[in-house]
Amino acid sequence: MTIWVDADACPRVVRDILFRAARRTGHPLVFVANQPLPMPPDENIRAIQVSAGFDVADDYIAQSVSAGDLVVTSDIPLAAEAVEKGARVVTSRGEALTAQNVRQRLNMRDFMDTMRSSGVQTGGPPPLGQREKQAFANALDRFLAQY
């Protein structure tokens, strides 16, 4: 079981939680980004730098993920692909994306994208707070407890 991280937009605090979990459990942890990322020296933790471009990191993860892996991403199309391959998905806010809810989230994402392209200002997500950090840590612990 590998933990794949869509690292281009992964908050630093979430990376730190993942680093600690990988050290504690020994599970492989792979960060994929289109820019260099500082990684702690650990044989279970690695970073893969892909070329710059729209969805290049997402495509790499989607091609590499296997059933039973965990993907950490807030990118809904990537989450849908990972779920379809049998992986588990959790956002940096601790929300589990599953076969039961990812299609609904994908439809909402597409709707919001249409709204933004027509000029409606939708704003972004609120900053990551203590509640979201704890929710992510709890979701990660629940997943790791199964392995």
pLDDT at 9: 85
pLDDT at position 111 is 64
Average pLDDT, the chain: 91
- Show the tokens assigned to 125: 């997500």
How far is residue 57's CA from residue 7's CA, in Å, rounded to a whole number? 8
CATH number, domain of 116, equals 3.40.50
CB 33 within 8 A of CB 57: yes
Residue that is written with structure tokens 């599953």 in the block: 98
Domain that holds residue 42: 3-124+139-145
CA 144 to chain centre: 15
Q: Is residue 130 part of a domain?
A: no
Q: 15: exposed, middle or buried (C-beta count within 10 Å: 0-12, 13-18, 19+)? A: buried
Task: Tell me the C-alpha to C-alpha distance, in Å, between residue 4 and each of 66, 97, 120.
Answer: 10, 15, 33
Per-residue pLDDT for 86 more than 90?
yes
Closest CA to 31 of 56, 51, 4, 9: 4
Q: Find the mean pLDDT for residues 30-57.
A: 95
Q: 70-107: b or e for each residue (b if 16 or more CB lie within 10 Å)?
A: bbbbbbbbbbbbbbebebbbbbbbbbbbeeeebeebee
Tens digit of pLDDT for each residue in 46-77? 999 999 998 999 999 999 999 999 999 999 99
Q: How many domains does the chain have?
A: 1
Give the model's pLDDT for residue 147.
Answer: 79
Tell me whether residue 132 is in a domain: no
Whether residue 32 lies inside any domain: the answer is yes
83 with 89: CB under 8 angstroms? yes
CA–CA distance, 61 with 65 (Å, rounded to integer): 6
The band of 104, judged by pLDDT with boundaries at 50, 70 and 90, is confident
| Confidence tier at 37 by pLDDT (50, 70, 90) | very high
For residue 123, pLDDT over 80 is answered with: no
Residue 133 lies in a domain: no
- Per-residue pLDDT of 131-141, as tens digits, reads 999 999 999 99
